[in-house]
Amino acid sequence: MSLVKIDNLWKIYPLLAGDVVALGGVSLEIKAGDYVSIMGQSGSGKSTMLNLLGCLDKPSRGQYWLGDADVATLTDEQLSVVRNERIGFVFQSFNLIPWLTIEENVEVPLFYQGIAPAARRAKSMEMLSLVGLGDRVGHKPNELSGGQRQRAAIARALVNDPLIILADEPTGNLDSATTLEILDLFDELNQNGCTIIMVTHEADVAERTRRVIVLRDGELESDRTQAPQGGKR
């Protein structure tokens, strides 16, 4: 059964000079446990696709099913709940809140669920231990290396037990060694059943995924499955 299903999804930005079609009728399905990379050149629509998949934006036309929810029809408030409960975000620039400790950063999604502080802390500690940061919980983001920050961001993405993890160029700000470290972590999460959708423009990163979707000018150019390369597999 499909975890993500989009059908004829359009995103059009109306501008004075004329409408700009960022995404033009894309349809695809992603199954639970998939490890997908979305590729494409700059302006191909991959960020738009990620924003729509992450419920940060609403499509102009078309349908988007995440689990059993028809996301395209939801209100702003309902979309917040979907983001909070069903999606885990990993950003290129980590987007950790600088004045919170990493433990507090990981707690943020649970905070908006109204979970008790003790339970939040326990869950957040569990996730930080999972990504290998169990001994750095009291540190502020600026006291960590890039790789550690991204690990903390991954812990935050996992803390709400999401249906999918959306990663936007997660290795874009990392050196090669740390990139491999983070990709290994993604591999591990995927092997444990996490559905991961990753936007990247780096072919060697996309090689680590099992399915590669390529967008071009807002349309689906190719959608192929592959045997993942490299890593600890």
Partner 1 sequence: MSLSLFKFRDMVILGLHGVVVHKVRSVLTILGILFGVWSVIAMLAINAGLSVQSQKALRRLGSTNIIINSIKPETDAANSGAYNGALVYGLTLRDVERLGTNTPGVVESAILHKTQKTACAGEHIRAVGVLGIEPNYLAVANGEVSRGRFISDLDILLCRNVCVIPQSFANRMFPADDALGKDLHLLDSDGKPFHIVGIMETLPAALESQLGESGDAVLVPLSTSRAEFGSMTIRYSQGSRSVEQVDISQCILRMENESAVIRGAGVVRNLLQRDHPQGDYALKVPVEEIKLMKADMRRWNVMFFLIASISLLVGGIGIMNIMLASVTERTREIGVRRALGAKKQDIVTQFLVEAVTLTTLGGLLGIGIGTFVPWILQQILAIETLITPMTLIVPFVMAVVVGLLSGFYPALRAAKLDPIDALRHE
Interacting residue ranges for partner 1, rule: CB under 8 A: 51, 54, 56-57, 76-77, 80-81, 83-85, 89, 91, 95-97, 99, 108-109, 111-114, 116-117, 156, 160
Helix (H), strand (E) counts: the chain: 7, 10
How far apart CA 39 and CA 210 sit, in angstroms, is 13
**Closest CB 91 distance from partner 1, rounded Å:** 7
Of 146 and 228, nearer to partner 1 (C-beta) is 146
**Closest CB 8 distance from partner 1, rounded Å:** 22
Of 153 and 174, nearer to partner 1 (C-beta) is 153
How far apart CA 210 and CA 227 sit, in angstroms, is 6
How far apart CA 107 and CA 36 sit, in angstroms, is 27
**Closest CB 201 distance from partner 1, rounded Å:** 17
**Closest CB 39 distance from partner 1, rounded Å:** 20
Of 87 and 206, nearer to partner 1 (C-beta) is 87
**Closest CB 214 distance from partner 1, rounded Å:** 23
